[in-house]
């Protein structure tokens, strides 16, 4: 891989002699691989997996990259594959937030930082995960579903639309679209597309994103800004812009010197640079800023968007009582699906539904197929599903892979909808008809490859 000469020249002007170490790491060292465990699942990382220093549930996977596609535990949400540098968001949240909050992940796909936030935030927090690109928003919703946390809403809107929710959020995290210099080690496209003009375009877009969403953050709230790039225009200069334009106040995050995180370049503010010659992870920049407490409340803007279908006649309350735990639940219709979410957030979720394009709220309980209500895949994976609400059937590794491919199965289980599990972890539903079972694993999520590893690539074990 040959890096663009102008990129190297830019890095040399920023880093001096340290530039050579960075270039060697980008051009020669293989990317590290790491996973982050789901604290809501009763599984632990195998003892041989070293821990990511700034993220307690994060673990490195030394050696050859595991064949994650063929691990049922990944499909069941026991862990998430994420670059170790990106796991710093876990440490930021744990260090600065100690009470339940309303948290917006603005540019959330594919869901790594969203699921990290769900694992780190105080109990009772509500996370809104947004992605403007429709196809990426669906992937985000799938990963949130795997994580199993009901305190989530997935939306697909532009930052300006979210800005209409004036002072609605205690925390806004913006992992903004960037020039991707920090991904050059593992993404050839990041190398091919890089130009100085791209850097300028990204910086302009980032300023527009920040300006559009800023009204949604309450006075005194935290703004977490991040990129996966190295240049100052998209990093330190953006922090300067937030301070100058919006009066934002940089916040210091406690770190440990041995972690190898670099300080900012030519800035008085506390910012955090991850570079692959210093840390075992990819390129990342992060800064935390506080909104001034004395910002006046601007008038709320009326939405002109088409609202999602909601309300109407449904059996959500009865299904929630039958299928979910004893948490008080509120329910509504989103299209042909019945959604359930903690009643403590009911007014907020209604506000979201009235303003945004909501794809998923809390747990999707069931979808209407004619006059029938079919239990939804999200219900099987939810940690709030009531124990005993459905019979379960345990599959060994090879049969679990068959299930994840969408193949028909013969199950030794009661008739009707049953939850399919592997090592006690729910994978989804099947409808057992007696002599055969209809495989209800969603088609877009199915394993397409016909290859089956000789050894299961399990990275976690059940906690006995």
Q: Residue 309 has what pLDDT?
A: 45
459: left (phi over 0), alpha (psi -120 to 50) or beta: alpha
Q: Where in the chain is the domain with CATH 3.40.50.150?
A: 5-290
Domain with CATH 3.10.450.720 in the chain: 390-449
pLDDT at 29: 79
**What is the pLDDT at residue 301?**
57
CA distances from 310 to 130, 157, 323, 361, 408 (A): 19, 17, 21, 11, 35
What are the CA-CA distances from residue 142 to residues 183, 218, 363, 381, 410 (Å)? 24, 29, 12, 11, 27
C-alpha triplet 427, 429, 434: angle, nearest 5°: 125
For residue 126, give the nearest of 105, 110, 143, 109 by alpha carbon.
105
According to the model, what pLDDT value does residue 311 have? 47
Low-confidence ranges of the chain (pLDDT < 50): 304-312
Contacts of 331 (CB under 8 A, 6+ apart): 314, 316, 317, 319, 320, 338, 339, 340, 341, 365
- Which of 244, 241, 228 minimizes the C-alpha distance to 186? 228
Q: Which of 23, 85, 44, 17 is nearest to 280 (CA)?
A: 85
**Quick one: fold of 5-290?**
Rossmann fold (3.40.50)
Distance CA 234, CA 230 (A): 8
Number of Cβ atoms within 10 Å of the Cβ of 124: 12
Topology of domain 390-449 in CATH is Nuclear Transport Factor 2; Chain: A, (3.10.450)
pLDDT of residue 306: 42
Is the CB of residue 375 less than 8 Å from the CB of residue 390? yes
Q: How many CB atoms within 10 Å of residue 135? A: 10
């Amino acid at each position: 891989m040959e890096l663009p000469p102008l990129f190297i020249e830019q890095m040399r002007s920023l880093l001096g002699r340290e530039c050579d170490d960075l270039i060697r790491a980008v051009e020669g060292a293989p990317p590290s691989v790491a996973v982050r465990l789901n604290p809501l699942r009763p599984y632990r990382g195998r003892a041989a997996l070293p821990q990511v220093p700034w993220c307690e549930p994060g673990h490195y996977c030394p050696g050859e990259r595991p064949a994650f596609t063929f691990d049922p535990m990944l499909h069941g949400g026991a862990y998430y594959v994420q670059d170790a540098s990106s796991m710093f968001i876990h440490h930021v949240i744990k260090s600065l937030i100690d009470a339940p909050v309303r948290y917006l992940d603005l540019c959330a796909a594919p869901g790594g930082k969203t699921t990290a936030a769900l694992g780190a935030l105080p109990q009772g927090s509500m996370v809104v995960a947004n992605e403007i690109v429709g196809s990426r928003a669906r992937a985000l919703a799938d990963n949130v579903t795997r994580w199993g946390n009901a305190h989530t809403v997935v939306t697909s809107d532009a930052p300006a639309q979210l800005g209409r929710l004036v002072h609605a959020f205690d925390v806004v995290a913006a992992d903004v679209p960037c020039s991707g210099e920090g991904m050059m080690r593992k993404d050839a496209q990041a190398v091919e597309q890089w130009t100085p003009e791209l850097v300028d375009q990204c910086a302009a877009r980032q300023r527009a994103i920040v300006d559009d969403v800023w009204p949604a953050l309450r006075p005194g709230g935290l703004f977490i800004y991040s990129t996966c790039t190295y240049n100052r225009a998209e990093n330190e200069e953006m922090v300067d812009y937030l301070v100058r334009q919006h009066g934002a106040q940089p916040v210091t995050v406690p770190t440990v010197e041995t972690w190898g995180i670099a300080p900012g370049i030519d800035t008085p503010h506390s910012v955090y640079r991850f570079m692959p010659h210093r840390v075992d992870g990819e390129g990342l920049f992060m800064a935390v800023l506080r909104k001034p407490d004395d910002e006046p409340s601007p008038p709320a803007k009326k939405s002109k968007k088409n609202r999602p279908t909601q309300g109407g006649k449904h059996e959500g309350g009865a299904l929630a009582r039958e299928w979910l735990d004893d948490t008080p639940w509120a329910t509504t219709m989103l299209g042909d699906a019945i959604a359930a979410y903690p009643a403590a957030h009911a007014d907020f979720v209604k506000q979201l539904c009235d303003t945004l394009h909501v794809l998923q709220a809390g747990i999707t309980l069931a979808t209407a197929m004619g006059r029938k209500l079919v239990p939804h895949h999200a219900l099987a994976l939810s940690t709030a599903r009531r124990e005993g609400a459905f019979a379960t059937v345990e599959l060994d590794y090879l049969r679990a892979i068959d299930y994840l491919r969408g193949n028909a199965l013969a199950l030794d289980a009661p008739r009707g909808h049953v939850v399919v599990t592997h090592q006690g972890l729910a994978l989804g539903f099947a409808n057992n008809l007696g002599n055969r079972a209809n495989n209800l694993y969603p088609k877009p999520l199915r394993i397409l490859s016909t290859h089956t590893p000789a050894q299961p690539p399990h990275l976690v074990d059940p906690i006995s």
